[in-house]
Amino acid sequence: MNYPDNKLNRRSFLKVSALAGGGMILSFNWLAGCKPNSSEILDMPKEWFRLNGYIKIGENGLITIMSPNPEGGQNVKTSMPMIVAEELDAVWKNVRVEQAPLDTENFTRQFIGGSQAIRIGWNALRTAGATARQLLINAAADQWKVPASEISTDSGFLIHIQSGKRAHFGEMASLAATLPIPGNVELKKVDQFKIIGTSQKNVDIQKIITGKPLFGIDYKKEGTLIAMIIHPPSFGMKLKSFDASEASKMPGIRGVFEIKSLRDDYVRTFFDTVTFTDLIAVVGTSTWEVLNAKKAIQAEYEPISAYVEKRDRFGSEESRIVPAGQENTESQAEKMRVASLKPQELRRDGNPEEAFKKASKVIEKTYTGPFLAHNCMEPMNFFAHVQGDKVECAGPLQKPELTEQALSVRLGIPVENIHIEMTRLGGGYGRRSYAHWLIEAAVISQKLNAPIKLIYTREDDMTSGIYRSRYQATYRAALDENNQLIGIHINAGGLPENPIYPDRFPAGAVENYLAEGWEVPSNITTGSFRAPRSNFMAAAEQSFLDEVAEVAGKDPIEFRLELLEKAKKNPVGKNNDYDPARYAEVIKLAREKSDWATNKEGIAKGFSAYFCHNSYAAQVLELKMENGQPLIEKVVSAVDCGIVVNPDAAKNLCEGAVVDGIGTALFGELTFEEGKPSKSNFDQYRMIRMKEAPKIIETYFVDNQIDPTGLGEPAYPPVFAALANSLYQGTGQRFYEQPFFKQLEI
Partner 1 sequence: MAQYNLNINGKNLQVDVDANTPMLWVLRDHLDMVGTKFGCGIAQCGACTIHLDGNAVRSCQLPISAVEDSKITTIEGLSEKGDHPVQQAWMEHDVPQCGYCQAGQIMTAAALLQQNPSPSDEEIENAMNGNICRCGTYLRIKAAVKTASQKL
Of 465 and 694, nearer to partner 1 (C-beta) is 694
Three-class DSSP category at 301: strand
When the beta carbons of 688 and 744 are compared against partner 1, the nearer one is 688
Residue nearer to partner 1 on the CB measure, 169 or 701: 701
SS3 category, 710: coil
Instruction: Compute the least distance from the CB of residue 631 to partner 1, in Å.
Output: 12
Contact residues for partner 1, defined by CB under 8 A: 30, 33-34, 72-75, 199, 201-202, 204-206, 208-215, 217-218, 220, 226, 251, 286-289, 375-379, 424-429, 455, 457-458, 648-649, 652-653, 655-660, 663, 681-683, 687-691, 693-694, 696-697
- 632: which strand partners? 623
What distance in Å separates the CA atoms of residue 615 and residue 119, rounded to the nearest whole number?
10
Provide, rounded to whole angstroms, the least separation between the CB of residue 666 and partner 1: 13
Q: Facing residues of 620 across strands?
A: 607, 636
Residue 735 CB, shortest distance to partner 1, in Å, is 20
Nearer to partner 1, 189 or 220 (CB): 220
Q: Which is nearer to partner 1, 140 or 454 (CB)?
A: 454
- DSSP per-residue codes, 161-203: TTTTEEEEHHHHHHHHTTSPPPSS-PBPPGGG-SSTTS----T
Distance from C-alpha of 83 to C-alpha of 646, rounded to nearest angstrom: 10
Distance CA 413, CA 517 (A): 41
CA separation (Å) from 739 to 142, 179, 520, 744? 67, 60, 21, 10
Give Cα 203 to chain centroid, integer Å: 19
Contact present, 656 and 429 (Cβ < 8 Å): no
**284 vs 508, which CB is nearer to partner 1?**
284
Nearer of residues 446 and 594 to partner 1, judged by Cβ: 594
99: β partners? 67
Contact 304, 236 (CB under 8 A): yes
Closer residue to partner 1 (CB): 205 or 338: 205
**CA–CA gap between residue 633 and residue 631 (Å, rounded):** 6
Give min distance, CB of 680 to partner 1, in A.
10
Distance, in Å, from the CA atom of 330 to the CA atom of 338, rounded to the nearest integer, reads: 13
- Give whichever of 58 and 114 is closer to partner 1, judged by the CB atom: 114
Q: DSSP of 588-614, one letter per residue?
A: HHHHHHHTTT---TT-EEEEEEEEETT
Beta strands in 249-343 (DSSP E): 253-260, 268-269, 278-284, 298-303, 307-313, 316-322
Q: Which of 537, 544, 540 is nearest to 563 (CA)?
A: 544
CA dihedral 23, 26, 32, 38 (to 10 degrees): -10
- 14 or 205, CB closer to partner 1? 205
Residue with smaller CB distance to partner 1, 20 or 208: 208
Nearer CB in complex with partner 1: 183/251: 251
Query: Residue 150, CB half-sphere, CA atoms under 13 Å: how many?
Result: 14
- Give the distance, in angstroms, between the CA of residue 420 and the centroid of all CA atoms in the same chain: 20
For residue 511, which of 348, 343, 361 has the smallest C-alpha distance?
348
How far is residue 506's CA from residue 484's CA, in Å, rounded to a whole number?
Answer: 14
Q: Which is nearer to partner 1, 133 or 613 (CB)?
A: 613
CB of 425 to partner 1, least distance (A): 6
CB atoms within 10 A of CB 192: 11
Taking Cα atoms as reference points, which of 70, 52, 55, 65 lies closest to residue 14?
52
Determine the 3-state secondary structure of 496 from DSSP.
Answer: coil
Q: Smallest gap, in angstroms, from Cβ of residue 218 to partner 1?
A: 4
**Minimum Å distance from CB 462 to partner 1?**
10
Contact 252, 226 (CB under 8 A): no
Contact yes or no for 666/658 (Cβ under 8 A): no
Cβ 460 to partner 1, closest distance in Å?
11
Smallest separation (angstroms) from partner 1 to the CB of 250 = 10
Between residues 454 and 510, which has the closer beta carbon with respect to partner 1? 454
H, E, C per residue of 656-704:
HHHHHHHHHHHHCCECEECCEECCCCCCCCCCCCHHHCCCEEEEEECCC
* 96: alpha, beta or left? (left if phi > 0; alpha if psi -120 to 50): beta
Residue closer to partner 1 (CB basis): 663 or 708: 663
